[in-house]
Structure 1
Amino acid sequence: MLLFLMSLNFMVLDNIIMLEYNLLTINSDMIVMTILLDWMSLLFMSFVLFISSMVIFYSEEYMYGDLNINRFVMLVVMFVLSMMLLIISPNLVSILLGWDGLGLVSYCLVIYYQNVKSYNAGMLTALSNRVGDVALLMSIAWMLNYGSWNYIFYLDFMKNDISMMVTSYLVVLAAMTKSAQIPFSSWLPAAMAAPTPVSSLVHSSTLVTAGVYLLIRFNFAFSNNLMMLLLFISSMTMFMSGLGANFEFDLKKIIALSTLSQLGLMMSILALGDYKLAFFHLLIHALFKALLFMCAGNIIHNMGNCQDIRFMGSLVNQMPLTCTYMNICNLSLCGLPFFSGFYSKDLIVEFLSMEYLNMYIYIMFYVSIGLTVCYSFRLVYYTMSGNFNYISLNSLNEENEIMLKGMGGLIFMVIFSGSSLMWIMFPSFYFICLPLYLKLMTLFLIMLGMFIGYEFSKFSLSYSSKSLMTMNLSFFLSSMWNMPFISTFGINYNPLKLGNFYYKNIDQGWSEYMGSQNIYMNLVNSSKFLQILFSNNLKIYLLLMVLWFMFIMFTLF
């Protein structure tokens, strides 16, 4: 609350505070820890702390009975602290500390339930993020040319310098891995192996938004070519994940793909040149996505850890409050008028309609909005309406007081944050001048998405009636355009094949026969021969003496 009020104060007065804390002085070299406090970092920190406090409160009951609950809470706290360090750093080196802290702790949290699936998911998450970490390290090396790593000083006026251009490309690469843009998207649904409170925290305000936040800070240094590239990649990500979510049956993975779609939206609006609008959507999305995961967690918890939406149905009768919260979040995600998501999403789309851009971007944006509504209503159809498809012996109830209180803390923010943040963050209005049909286009696509999502849910063709082409297409779309296979088999298969070839032909082949094995055989044979000599030494000694005498006799005669 204090950080939020400070943020409002800084916003009104247009204040920025930079604190420099001298850690160490060696001769004339100073190692300084720099902290940047402006309205953006303070506001984001207040949101992160609020959401994480609700998540930790919620996990008290969700993780009840877990033997390592203390370790879990400590890991979550370390995660939040890493995010704090990243938010308040105007310096690339201290950003790397927070960035790597997030990567390391996220690995520990993804493999928290220790089984093969978790280990695989954790390794995929860690290795995908390493690419971004290396890019950040390289950008640190490139910024050596400036004499300081406080990037905030150089962004604007060194914009056309080659070092800053290379640095900005590397930072965009780092942000793409952390925010799971194409081609690094496969780790995000895999990271769902973590406990649900972690998913709630990771997908709302910490790990995946770190990349977007870094780009918001760096946006002054971007060239037009870089922004076009980022716009293309992020719009593809937005479309791909929206499409994939319509074919998914795992409750948590649907919400994860929804996060990916929203990240694509944030990135693309950032690439269009409006960082404030991207930040606005980031904050609002953080709130309703955290609550959406909490609702999903409550449902999974009650259904004995079942995550398949096909087993759910008419949950609104057994869990009315959770379903109400979930509906509010879903409608907010869709951008239905006067829910919090509407204020950012509608503004983003109208801002895009005012821009002078090509048809591809325009269609991608509008189709992605339709897909968002489509998978949201498919989710509602499967979970809340229709017949109850779970086992007869169930204990569905809403007596989880602590979990409901944790969710209740967020619901008011979800409802009121959109309008209030808009009034606070944009003192000067956006002037939107559009014809009526473009003004109503968003609403029309929301309605169309609702209809398609509802119709799409109703028919579920059996495999026998599906054609091979339909099956292949649905498999291709549901597996995120084969990206998980490319990022696992594509990286593992060739080294393993090469290793097999090397083992067969070199380790077990000619080099073995001509090299070490040959030496070994020679040594064995010679030692066997010498052993014969040594074991029969007296007889051989006498025999050699006779031979020696004979040799002397022959030489004399």
Structure 2
Amino acid sequence: MNVLSFYHIIASCFYFMSLSVLLLGLSVVGVQSSNFIEFNFFCINGVSLSGVFLLDWISCFFISLVLFISATVVVYSGSYMSSDLNANRFILIVAGFVFTMVLLITSPNLLSILLGWDGLGLVSYALVIYYQNSKSSAAGMLTALSNRIGDVCFLLAIAWWMMLGDFSFLPYIQWTILFDSHSLMILSFVIILAGMTKSAQIPFSAWLPAAMAAPTPVSALVHSSTLVTAGVYLLIRFYSLLEGTLMLEVLLCLSSGTMFMAGLAALYEYDLKKIIALSTLSQLGVMMFSLAMGFPLLAFFHLLMHALFKALLFLCAGVFIHQVGGWQDIRSMGGVSFSFPLTSSYFNMANLALCGMPFLAGFYSKDAIIESALMSNMNSFILILLIISTIFTAVYSIRLTYFSMLTLPSFNVLTNFLDEDINMVNPMFFLGLGGIMGGALFSWLLFPHPLLVSLPTSIKMTALICGVGGGFLSILFFGGGAASNYLSGYNYKNFIAMMWFLPLLSGQLTSKINLPAGNLVSTSLDQGWLEKMGAQGVYQSVLLQSNYISLLQKSSLKSYFFLFICCLFLGLLFVV
């Protein structure tokens, strides 16, 4: 079978399943009901193994979005990965990735959630190291080990949940009275820590830009609706249990720091994919911020909207990178709008949606989150961080557009521009349509009654002012050329550009401390005293004793007679 046909078959299945689940979600959201589907796999001697799947409106909308984005990415990959020798293996890994994400979303049981949770970590490692080189290996190892921390926390949550005698969490998260204060504190700590590692909040943020070593279609899938949003989705599910705990206040501080740090680092980054990855990190901070404020529905709404335009951003970036021979430095691009007009239009639309342009997808969710924050009783410093981070979003988005499109072309003279591939451009149309109309449609579905906003007009316009002001600042600094001198002379450039040294703390520093310590323990204990006093010591002792016994058994009659005289002499001594 042709590889492209194989990709289209899988994409068609994903599109059909996405539409089916969306219709189910529309029927469920109106009556506010939940559906449980149970499959009995087998029964042996009265012991049955069954799987239960939850299909309420949250899971249905999320699954529909995941399958929709996966289908567009699969069609896109058919052309993007056409020259790859292992294209079939790639699409099967992507299908396994989607399956584990769906399993995580539909699981009402902690054990089945763990299967999807660990499956995401395993398959993401396989995708990050897909291009087999030292950089991909290091990035994959950092991704896997960072996510293992969340896996351990989730195992601890399962162990603590066993005291209820059931692994299903839905019947119990509404009844916090079942948990004493000590148990509630431990559960909230391990669950929030697990969500922070999966969604790359400080201090676990280093792995998310490193995961850009994966192919661009994988980045579009991972950074929009699957791996990085699993932590946010988990905390939305467990919000009733976490509400009012101290860890939510800690999460509020860390998430505000994450979106500020990611927005600031994006101003110093020149790698096209890493800039978009840092914007993902910033938006994950916004979702966690909304959740910690006490608005899980707004966090879920922003999760859906962000998935639409972020997948589109990565697909457009993939076209630029693919057609110019794999070059990713935005300083060496310029003028791509002349070579790729349609892709550039989609790219700019997605960028505007990210900035919160009115009536695009990002506007409805970001505006609601900022207004809710302004109306809440919140620390002023954290509120200022939110506003500055919103301005940074507009600044680095316009900066990205300026360097890649508004400057003169800076490509290598041997670069051969190809026409836009229809198999890569057509999938962008559906995501672009979702980026334009998705915000209005989902806001009507999720919020049938308008949110009450009681703010003065000047404060009500804060989100719009931040977006427009950030755009003007970006044009002023980068368009006038003043920013390059200012940024290069900034004393803390390396500190900010390297995400507050989090990659060093997560990777190199840990290796420099742990590897010598592990070598010392291995040589002194594992291969030293433990070996001498343990297995090898017992072996040498038994060998020596067996040699003595063997020597006695092989000796002559004189030895036996001498031994008999000694035993007789000792017997006479005891008798006397």
Give me the TM-score of the superposition, normalised by structure 1. Answer: 0.88
Deviations 1:513-547 (A, max 9, x none): xxxxxxxxxxxxxxxxxxxxxxxxxxxxxxxxxxx
1:37-56 Cα distance to aligned partner (Å, 9 max, x none): 10110110000000000000
Mapping 1:2-17, distance limit 5 Å: 2-17=20-35
Q: CA shift at 1:429, angstroms?
A: 1.5
CA gap of 1:251–1:465, structure 2 versus 1, over 3 A, is: closer
Displacement of 1:32: 3.5
- In 2, the alpha carbon distance for the partners of 1:460 and 1:479 equals 22
The Cα offsets for residues 48-104 of structure 1, whole Å up to 9 and x where unpaired, read as 000000000000000111000000000000000000000000111000000111000
Question: How big is the shift at 1:464?
Answer: 13
Task: Give the corresponding residue for 2:229.
Answer: 209
Q: CA deviation at 1:460?
A: 7.1
Structure 2 CA distance for partners of 1:19 and 1:448, relative to 1, 3 Å:
same
- CA distance in 2: counterparts of 1:256 and 1:510, whole angstroms: 48
For 1:130 and 1:235, how far apart are their aligned partners in 2?
Answer: 24
Percentage of pairs with the same residue? 50
**1:462 shift after superposition:** 7.8
Does 1:52 find its partner at 2:73? Answer: no
Task: Answer with 494-503 or 258-267: which moved more.
Answer: 494-503
- Listed as ranges, the gaps of 5+ residues in structure 2 are 1-18, 532-576
CA–CA separation in structure 1 for the residues paired with 2:523 and 2:67: 56
Note closer, same or farther for the CA distance 1:502–1:345 as it changes in structure 2 (3 Å cut): closer
The residue number in structure 1 matching 2:163 is 145
Match of 1:87 among 86, 97, 105: 105
Q: Is the 8 A contact 1:378 1:456 kept in 2?
A: no
| Compared CA separation, residues 71 and 435, structure 1 to 2 (3 A) | same
CA deviations 1:170-193 (Å, max 9, x no partner) are 111111000000000000000000
Query: Relative to 1, partners in 2 of residues 1:29 and 1:507: Cα closer, same or farther, differing over 3 Å?
Result: closer
| Counterpart for residue 494 of structure 1 | 513
User: What corresponds to 2:564 in structure 1?
Assistant: none
Question: Which residue matches 2:408?
Answer: 387
**Counterpart position of 1:155:** 173
Please, which of 309, 325, 341 is the counterpart of residue 362 of structure 2?
341
Paired residue for 1:528?
A: none
Task: Output aligned runs, 1:402-481, within 5 Å.
Answer: 402-458=423-479, 459=481, 470=490, 472-481=491-500
1:165–1:221 Cα contact (<8 Å) kept: no
Structure 1 residue 500, shift from structure 2 partner = 6.2
Where 1:204 maps in the other structure, the secondary structure is coil
User: Within 5 A, what are the aligned runs for 1:101-500?
Assistant: 101-158=119-176, 160-161=179-180, 162-222=182-242, 223-458=244-479, 459=481, 470=490, 472-498=491-517
CA distance in 1, matches of 2:42, 2:198: 31
Change (3 A) 1:25 1:460: farther
Say if 1:89 and 1:220 are closer, same or farther in 2 by CA, change over 3 A: same
Once residues 461 and 504 of structure 1 are traced to their aligned partners in structure 2, the CA distance between those partners, rounded to angstroms, is: 53
Determine the C-alpha separation between the residues in 1 that align with 2:482 and 2:33.
57
Checking the alignment, whether the CA contact within 8 Å between 1:155 and 1:164 is kept in structure 2 is no
Give the match for residue 114 of structure 2: 96
Distance verdict in 2 for CA 1:387–1:34, change over 3 Å: same
What amino acid sits opposite 1:98 in the alignment? G
SS in 1 for 2:76: helix
Which AA in structure 2 matches 1:168? S
Distance 1:212 1:510, change over 3 A: closer
The one-letter code sitting in structure 2 at the alignment partner of 1:3 is V
Kept in 2, the 8 Å contact 1:269–1:275? The answer is yes
Q: Secondary structure at the match of 1:153?
A: coil
Of 59, 79, 89, 1:41 maps to: 59
Relative to structure 1, the CA distance from residue 328 to residue 488 in structure 2 (aligned partners, 3 Å threshold; closer, same or farther) is: same
- Do the aligned partners of 2:188 and 2:245 also contact (CA within 8 Å) in 1? no
Give the residue type in structure 1 aligned to 2:237: R
- The Cα of 1:443 is off from its aligned counterpart by 1.7
Query: Which stretch has the larger CA shift, 207-216 or 487-496?
Result: 487-496
Change (3 A) 1:195 1:466: closer
Q: Which amino acid aligns with 2:514?
A: P
Matched positions, count: 514
Q: Is the 8 A contact 1:143 1:163 kept in 2?
A: no
2: CA distance between counterparts of 1:107 and 1:463? Answer: 39
Displacement of 1:224: 3.3
Q: Is the 8 A contact 1:319 1:396 kept in 2?
A: no
Provide the rounded CA distance (Å) in 2 between the counterparts of 1:359 and 1:91: 39
Residue 489 of structure 1: how far off its partner (Å):
1.9
The structure having more radius of gyration, on CA atoms, is 1
- Does structure 1 conserve the Cα–Cα contact (< 8 Å) formed by 2:487 and 2:493? no
